[in-house]
Structure 1
Amino acid sequence: MYTGSIPVLASKLHSAAKPLEDKQRINETKPDTQVSTDFGGTTVRVDLALEAYREDHLTGLRTGSERYTQLARIVAPFSHRQMHEIDNVTLSNVLGRWKGGTRNRYRAAVTHFWKWGRAYGYTTLHPTLLAGKETSRDDVLSVRLLRTLYHHAGRMDEPWATYGRLLILTGQRHGDVMNFHHERLHQGDMHLPTSKTGTPHIVTLGTRGLTLATFHCHGFNMATTAHFKRRWFRKAGVPLSYRLHDIRRSFATHLAEAGEDEADIDRMLNH
């Protein structure tokens, strides 16, 4: 059974260390930022850290304005406290105001904001926040269910065995994976000349994904995709309320919750 880290296999994402000069530039714009002898890092108020995060990260995102609004709502009750003073209980209590998919989107926003704060020495907290229970339309498959699906996909007939595993490894739209041909592999990358967005897309593959893509071939049609999905999910014990598209959503969600950069996730998924 596949036991690796599913989202990372295809992504090759690496968290880049923030340049020292960027940190100095941001700190210089915050007059009440100071070194704390007790904390051992740099103290900064949460609201000022959020403004720095907005300038440093969110302005480069297509959804940056929306993400800033989400974070502003979350930190409002403790915005004038020092970032290093905020603990997991405080964050959990605030997130309790939201349910389902909204809670999970806010949870991902908090996770990345605090990861950014750790990179600058503003906090040492690694938030561990419970996920919200989502409706069937907005479900996210757990890593355990994705591993189970990957394992059972390998037991299906070809070309479905390869198709199912590539969906999990790449997080791409199922139509794009269906139309992919191994002749479009170039130096370990999956080249998709057309997509839903109307733009070409390149997917960097890990070793396992590259091996599968090398043998990937045509042979699909939309009439049999639904039948494949039912057989696949039933064998894996996954509720049929999940859709193939939920694999893609889960791919993105697990990366976001791990603190990966949203702009990188958007580029990877051609969103």
Structure 2
Amino acid sequence: MQVSLTDKYLKSLKPNTERIEVSDTVRRGLRFRLSPMGHATWVYEKRVKGGPKRKHTLGEYPLVSIKDARRISAEIQVEADAGIDRVAIKEQEKLANEENRHNTKTVRHLFSDFYDLHVKNLRTAEDNMKVLWDNFGQHADTPCSQVTNLMLQDAIDKKARTAPYQANRLKAALSKLAKFARQRGYFGPDVGRDLAKAIKEQPRERELSLDEVRRIYCATFALGDTFGAALRLLLLTAQRRSEIAKLQWSEVNFEGRYLNLGAARTKNGEGHITHLCDASMAEIADMRALADEDAQYVFTTTGYSPISGFTKTKNKLNEVLENSIKDWRFHDFRTAFATTMCDLGEDEAVVDRVLNHKASGSAPSPVARIYNRAKKLKERRMLLDRWGLLVSTDAIPEDS
């Protein structure tokens, strides 16, 4: 319908079940629209000289009056007759703004987005971000558009000079970060591809003997109350370092004499119970006596965060041991436990359950998964009691 539009006429229109559209006879191509919800808008349609027909939304009525709508449409007509395409110009400006946004986004912003959108719900979120900040944080204020493959590889190579295995973990972390950045246009299409590992890893064959374990246990008494107790509990329970370092009082069952870690705290994502032998209970009791009433973590030097700095701790242990034990790691405690106890005739299945290894066979049924969390608890308790005696008996220095 075409009408010489007036305010009186427009105000007389009432919303209907279908959209009402009226064309203005004064300004060809100008239309008034009234939606079923009562939204009144102006639309102007005009073909650009040598180009496509474009539709322009001019605003809402009565905020944009009839006079304003005719004036704006006249301006667009003049531009369109001259070959100026407002829609194309806006699209180009939008693309330019988007490109500028990516060009000004820094690595710091990328880290934040990577954490919020990809990492924060992972069990290893804190460790993943620490690796990135420690090894690539010096580029935090560098625009993402200026990050190159060389910068990423340099970080890996620098780490490889002192810790080649950790450099491989860094390579994996940077590769994931780069893929995240490429998918969002923050990095160039080839940045982060084909990064080289530091070394080709070989299965570790080093096994600590029971005598070496006892010597390390004895040396921990030179480390002070907190770190010494943490490492002794690590030895006595044969659990993973992060599980003991981040142990919380809520995870200690004094009456039952065991640790109860939820699925979010274990590597394989399954809840795990670890029995505490007499020596382990003594360590826990000593830490409880030293802890603040509202403390969250069992082992803390700050009062509000778990202990860290295990590289320095290991170096100090080596000094106490006068470097008499070569090429060892904290993770070797688990191997030493498994090897020693299996050599003594203990059931491998029980050893595996103490270590919280996932079964290598076919997936168990839902009933079996629930049942297996508690299966062989008695045997596991007996096994850790025996291990605790082997490690701690005659190992504590007389003057401790």
User: What TM-score does the superposition give when structure 2 sets the normalisation length?
Assistant: 0.32
Which one has the largest radius of gyration?
A: 2
- RCO higher in 1 or 2 (8 Å CA, sep ≥ 6)? 1
User: What TM-score does the superposition give when structure 1 sets the normalisation length?
Assistant: 0.47
